[in-house]
Amino acid sequence: MSNNDFLEKLRGANENYQGQMKSLTFIVKRGSEEKKIFKWLFTPNNIDFYISFPYFKTTEYRCGTVEIPVSPSKDEIFDTINGVASEIPVKFSYHKDGNVHFKPTNYTSDTKNKGYKLASIKVDPLDQTNGSHLFTIRFEGLSKFDDLKKHINSNGYRETILTIPEDIINFEIQAFAGPSQESIDGHIKKDTTPWFQLSGKTTEGKPIFIGVYAIISRKSHIIDDNKNGLHVLVGFDRSKIKQTGRVKSLYLLAR
Tens-digit pLDDT profile for residues 206-221: 999 999 999 999 999 8
Under a CB-based contact definition with an 8 Å cutoff, are residues 252 and 231 in contact?
yes
Proportion of the chain above pLDDT 70, given as a percent = 86
pLDDT digits (tens, 9 = 90+) for 78-98: 666 678 999 999 999 999 999
Which of 103-107, 110-114, 119-123, 189-193 is modeled with the greatest confidence?
Answer: 119-123
Q: Which residues pair with 213 in a beta bridge?
A: 174
CA distance 203 to 206: 8
- Tell me which DSSP letter residue 78 carries: -
Domain range annotation of the chain:
3-254
CB 232 within 8 A of CB 66: no
CA pair distance 96, 93, nearest whole angstrom: 10
Positive or negative CA dihedral for 178, 179, 183, 185?
positive
What pLDDT band is residue 204 in, cutting at 50, 70 and 90?
confident
Long-range contacts of 8-12 (CB under 8 A, 24+ apart): 8/192, 10/162, 10/195, 10/196, 10/214, 11/192, 11/193, 11/194, 11/195, 11/196, 12/160, 12/194, 12/195, 12/196, 12/197
What pLDDT, in 10s, does the model give residues 159-202? 999 999 999 999 999 999 999 999 999 999 888 899 989 988 88
pLDDT single digits (tens) 121-166:
999 999 999 999 999 999 999 999 999 999 988 888 999 999 999 9
pLDDT digits (tens, 9 = 90+) for 32-66: 999 999 999 998 888 999 999 999 999 999 999 99
